[in-house]
Structure 1
Amino acid sequence: MSATTLGHYSGGSTVIAGIQTITGTVSNDSATNVTTGANSIAGGSFSDASGLPSVIQNTGNNVLIQNGVIVNVQMKP
């Protein structure tokens, strides 16, 4: 396909802002007589990964983990 033909099918030039509002709370929690462990990522853990891998680790107690990903893809002829 020529660049001219491909340009006809292009997505345009509109800018879209990705906004995430992540609001979480942890309150009135307690932890007694607890044991936490260790986190580790071994060598080669992502050797066959594809896409957008994400890792979230936690060894604590009463923890709020929030994660958000915004991916903007722009293709140009």
Structure 2
Amino acid sequence: MTFHRMKDLRDDRDWTQQDVADRLSVSRRAYGAYETGERTVPVNVVITLAKIYNVSTDYILGLTDERKPYPRAKR
């Protein structure tokens, strides 16, 4: 996973780690560990980050350079 993307997305919004941690309902320390790669980022956190930043999970995971999210699945 390319953790720098999480930091870049956060920096693009001028948010602190605490700002993102609050949105994820995790501690700042836990979020900081996700951002630096010290802790594995849970799937639900990746999904929530994608929704917050309006990017694809593949972009956050470093699988594509395309930021645009995929169309939502029909239910």
Task: Tell me, yes or no, whether TM beats 0.5.
Answer: no
Higher RCO, Cα 8 Å, sep 6+? 1
TM-score range, shorter chain: under 0.3
Higher relative helix content: 2
